[in-house]
Structure 1
Amino acid sequence: MRKTLMRRALATAAVVAVAAGCSAHTTGSAGPDDAKRGSPAASHSPTTSPGPSRSSAAPEPATSASPTRRSPERPVSAPAPKTLMASGATGIQVRELQARLRQIAWFDGAPTGTYGPVTVASVKGFQARRGLPATGRTDSTTWQRLLAMTRTPSGDELSGTAAGRTPGRLDARCMTGRVLCISKTSRTLSWVNDGKVLSSMDVRFGSQYTPTREGTFHVDFKSRHHVSTIYHTAMPYAMFFSGGQAVHYSSDFAARGYNGASHGCVNVRDEAKIASLFAQVRTGDKVVVYW
């Protein structure tokens, strides 16, 4: 009896051992108690539901840790031009400044070498005309612009003994034929034949309300003893080129200089020069008025 009971116990133990070994090696789905038992299925499964694979996932949104953009660099401002001469200055450079301004009709009278109110006003006018700050001080920018427009003054120009104004560069339209070449910049009239200047003289023009017209014209007619039918003033040696505008002698210009202005005509103040010019000019000769 005892032997029979021992055989049954050994058989039961063998069955239990075989069942446990099959459970450990089974690859099926984990049961509800796997997590409690610490089975391989439980220990390798995530605690949350798995999401889509990375290859099929949507792009991750940008985070606040994205790289910051570098702010644009501020442009470096150009240094202010250096002041070379100003009110109260004296010396040879001031004299040269005045002589150069006189070449282009921005300074009347002889150079003095003293930077006074007249020079300040002349520099202001020159600067304003060219879009520069009208300070009246000669800075490096103003000086370089003036040098580019003028030539080195002669000894007579520096001393103020030069006769009359010096014509500037002739307009290209003045280089062929017989031309009355009239520059508003230098305030001069040059009598030019095929590019050669035969004579030149100081002139003045109309005011801002009655400006002298600019362009290319021709002498329409000449009148030695002309009198204006509008203003009833004498216009000796008149050479008309644009309607009622003419080149002619002006006694007012001779007396007052650039303190006055014409009603649009080109006034000449040297009577001897205009008389000689009148004798040479022919009807049909070209007239060029330019800056």
Structure 2
Amino acid sequence: MHRQRATIRTLGLAAAVAFAATACGPQHSGSAPAASSVPVAPSSASPSGQDDKPGASSPAPSPTESASPSAAPSAPPSRSGAPAVKPVMANGDENDQVRELQARLRQLTLMSGAPTGFYGSKTTAAVKAFQSRHGLDATGAVDEATWRKVQDLSRKPTEEELRPPTTNEVAAPDPRCLQGRVLCISKESRTLAWMIDGKVVSSMDVRFGSENTPTREGLFQVEWKAKDWTSTIYHTPMPYSMFFSQGQAVHYSADFAARGYAGASHGCVNVRDKAKLSALFDQVKVGDKVVVYW
């Protein structure tokens, strides 16, 4: 993972680095914060967690690339000892084909969460269960035979199935969210609602800091934005960061996408739907309100 150059607005670089010294990374719930208080250069370290997104800097394969057996990683040997069949999709992949797989597995009641497009331990477990149920070699990777069987037993997902509006029900907005342009963030419902003049434009699930590194509550504003940013303390990527409180930011988290609420941030507001956050990032302006409340 190489260090990314961030586009920073309204603050000089020195001030931005000072804020980013408290930037967030994923952690297990209840873990203690890092001791460092001085900015350091990002390294290639990846977030912790058994189902975490790999830290490789190479881009995720496109659905077309993933469909090609020659471009996919090798599957583990079959139980019968026959030559392994290279998978169409496997643990660590992140693309729209994985999102479709997850939506189809959800139709088959093998997955409960909304599709994320990231192939982690939950998807692997669901694929293994499917393979075992249908007499296929239970590798947890999707080879061509598994993919054909999944397609035969499910229907093509709708856009809403691929990208549900939100998994969590949006809470009643705080009164401070009812005027102007606001990122209205409820800790109770674990949702972020992008509101303009009292109307919800879009919403998405969010995750917060642990007891030791809580996400601050109150009225804030977007201080600066960075489409590509790496935490200077935790050395983890923070795409689509919108900083609102001394290093705490709303940003995409691959760890949240992979592990859900089994983990926590170091104080930031994590979003697990990258496509939704990308669209939101383009709409939000520096100076827009941020309300974090129970």
Q: TM-score when scaled to structure 1?
A: 0.45
Higher Cα Rg, which structure: 1
Say which structure, 1 or 2, has more relative contact order (CA 8 Å, 6+ apart).
Answer: 2
Larger helix share, 1 or 2? 1
